[in-house]
Amino acid sequence: MAQRKRRGRRSFGAVRALPSGRYQASYLDPEGRRRNAPTTFTTLTDADIWLTLQRAALETGSWRGTDSRITVGEYAQTWFAALRVRSRTMYGYRKTFDRWIAPTFGTIAVTAVTPQMVRAWVGTFSEEHPYARVNAYRLLGRLFSDAISDGIVRETPVRVRGARQGPPPRQGHALTIDEILAVAENMPTGRGLAVILSAFCALRPGEVLALRRRDIDQTAHVVHVRETASARYGGGAHIGPTKTAASNRTVNYPAELHDQIAAHLAEHAAPGKAGHIFPSPRNPGDPLSSGAYLTGVKQAAKAAGLEDVRPHDLRHSGATLAAGTGATLRELMARLGHTSPEIAMQYQHSARERDRAIADALGASLRGSGSDESGPSSGVF
């Protein structure tokens, strides 16, 4: 009987027989870490073929290793540490991860997450939290996109069709000048000017709340936008840098507002150059909170007979009014602090729509004047 030829010692990798009768293959990566095959093999030959492919990939430079040990939670911590974003954005990312991602995937190996698992996770979100689902899904997708770049996985399991899409965003309302003045008039004492500046200077809510005495030049009639205010988060400060570099800007306000601004500074602003123009009633060293401002605007709008008006609608109104004056796209971008011309173009479109409404209203007046009891008017056309 012929003697079976003994297999020689492997020059790369290792294969061991499992109690199940299958074979597990592994090898040492360039950093000396042992890498196991993602699956076990039916035959020894199959395991050897897999090792041959891994060795060829290492030698040709096409190797993309996988780390079967690191969990999603562990990878997220290193990912967060290397991420360079605004502190408020980082706070939001971490809060989203801890609230929505970690409970499901935190202790699972990155390489073990499957598309089916992600699909089941997406299905757990309530329809009452559509934005939570969208934000969490996008964050998980970004994590796995970088995991591919880091060589941990070869492809992302985050590929549920439509999961990135949320409900359409709320469309802003363009208020008329009379409506803006009515909202300002119904604001609590000392806060009407916030509505006026938000609208006539097209300021973001956080920008108007962050204004200080030094930001108002009463001689030149300009507002210097240097900071933005937001709700406290994670022990952070109320005041921070503007949204973008372009948001740091100088905006002219109508000279007709001079007396109103002077009176407000004399009666309601906190003292000193760094004093807040709209100080918190509880702590004058802080600006008026965004929550108090939101509540004030909503209640003032309701008192003025308007529905569903929010602080950002005032900026939207100011941008539309500015576009209606014939401002160019570049001028609108500078006034609004935008870096994208597409957004500024939306306000030009809104201005054209309002001009159409004005023309239609004039046409209705003409039709009405031609059908009254005095008979058709002559020479109208």
Q: Is residue 325 part of a domain?
A: no
Q: Are 319 and 202 in contact (CB under 8 A)?
A: yes
Angle between helices 311-324 and 329-336 (to 10 degrees): 150
Percent of the chain having pLDDT more than 90?
41
What are residue 229's DSSP bridge partners? 239
Q: Structural domain of residue 104, as residue ranges?
A: 72-149
Kindly report the CATH number assigned to the domain that includes residue 267. 1.10.443.10
Looking at the fold, whether 77 and 46 belong to one and the same domain comes out as no
Q: What is the distance, to the nearest Å, from the Cα of residue 122 to the centroid of all Cα atoms in its chain?
A: 20
Looking at the fold, whether 22 and 105 belong to one and the same domain comes out as no
Looking at the fold, whether 49 and 90 belong to one and the same domain comes out as no
Rounded distance, CA 180 to CA 314, Å?
A: 8
Final residue belonging to a domain, choices 312, 342, 364? 312
Which residues does 178 contact at the CB level (< 8 Å), separation at least 6? none
316 labelled catalytic: no
What are residue 104's DSSP bridge partners? none
Looking at the fold, whether 52 and 79 belong to one and the same domain comes out as no
338 labelled catalytic: yes
312 labelled catalytic: yes
Active-site entry in 94, 213, 224, 312: 312
Which residues does 269 contact at the CB level (< 8 Å), separation at least 6? 213, 275, 276, 277, 278, 279
Residue 201: how many CB atoms within 10 A of its CB?
24
Active-site entry in 191, 226, 264, 338: 338
pLDDT for 101 equals: 95
Rounded distance, CA 302 to CA 309, Å?
A: 8
Question: What mean pLDDT do residues 305-330 have?
Answer: 86
Q: Is residue 51 part of a domain?
A: yes
Active-site entry in 347, 349, 352, 367: 347
> ∠ at Cα 296 (295, 298), nearest 5°?
65
Question: Coil, strand or helix: which one is 230?
Answer: coil
- What are the C-alpha distances in Å from 220 to residues 39, 262, 318? 72, 13, 20
137 labelled catalytic: no
Q: Are 105 and 72 in contact (CB under 8 A)?
A: yes
What are residue 14's DSSP bridge partners? 26
Q: Is residue 272 part of a domain?
A: yes
Q: Is residue 173 part of a domain?
A: no
Q: Are 298 and 204 in contact (CB under 8 A)?
A: no
Q: Encoding tokens for residue 267?
A: 């009666």
Looking at the fold, whether 32 and 91 belong to one and the same domain comes out as no
pLDDT for 246 equals: 75
pTM beyond 0.75: the answer is no
**Number of domains the chain is built from:** 3
Q: Are 287 and 315 in contact (CB under 8 A)?
A: no
Looking at the fold, whether 233 and 295 belong to one and the same domain comes out as yes
Looking at the fold, whether 191 and 139 belong to one and the same domain comes out as no
Active-site entry in 35, 315, 316, 335: 315
Tens-place pLDDT, residues 188-229: 999 999 999 999 998 999 999 999 999 999 999 999 999 988
354 labelled catalytic: no
Looking at the fold, whether 88 and 119 belong to one and the same domain comes out as yes
Final residue belonging to a domain, choices 261, 283, 312? 312
Q: Are 72 and 113 in contact (CB under 8 A)?
A: yes
Final residue belonging to a domain, choices 149, 169, 203? 149
DSSP codes joined into one string, 51-71: HHHHHHHHHHT------SS-B
Active-site entry in 204, 212, 226, 249: 204
Q: How confident is the model at residue 1 (pLDDT cuts 50, 70, 90)?
A: very low
Q: What is the distance, to the nearest Å, from the Cα of residue 50 to the centroid of all Cα atoms in its chain?
A: 44
Q: How confident is the model at residue 371 (pLDDT cuts 50, 70, 90)?
A: very low
Q: Among positive and negative, which fits the CA dihedral 151, 152, 153, 157?
A: negative
Strands (E), 187-226: 216-217, 222-225
- What are the C-alpha distances in Å from 348 to residues 96, 174, 198, 249, 326? 36, 12, 18, 21, 9
Tens-place pLDDT, residues 80-95: 988 888 777 888 899 9
Q: Give one word for 221, left, alpha or beta, with left for phi > 0 and alpha for psi -120 to 50.
A: left
Among residues 150, 203, 139, 187, the alpha carbon closest in space to that of 303 is found at: 187
Q: Is residue 306 part of a domain?
A: yes
Looking at the fold, whether 44 and 126 belong to one and the same domain comes out as no
Looking at the fold, whether 235 and 296 belong to one and the same domain comes out as yes
Whether 121 has a pLDDT exceeding 70, the answer reads yes
Looking at the fold, whether 199 and 288 belong to one and the same domain comes out as yes
Residues shown for the chain = 381
Tens-place pLDDT, residues 287-297: 998 889 999 99
Question: Coil, strand or helix: which one is 138?
Answer: helix
Looking at the fold, whether 291 and 195 belong to one and the same domain comes out as yes
Q: At residue 280, what is the residue type?
A: S
pLDDT for 266 equals: 96
- Which segment of 50-59, 91-100, 144-153 scores lowest on mean pLDDT? 50-59
Q: Is residue 92 part of a domain?
A: yes
Q: Is residue 97 part of a domain?
A: yes
Which residues does 298 contact at the CB level (< 8 Å), separation at least 6? 309, 310
Q: Is residue 361 part of a domain?
A: no
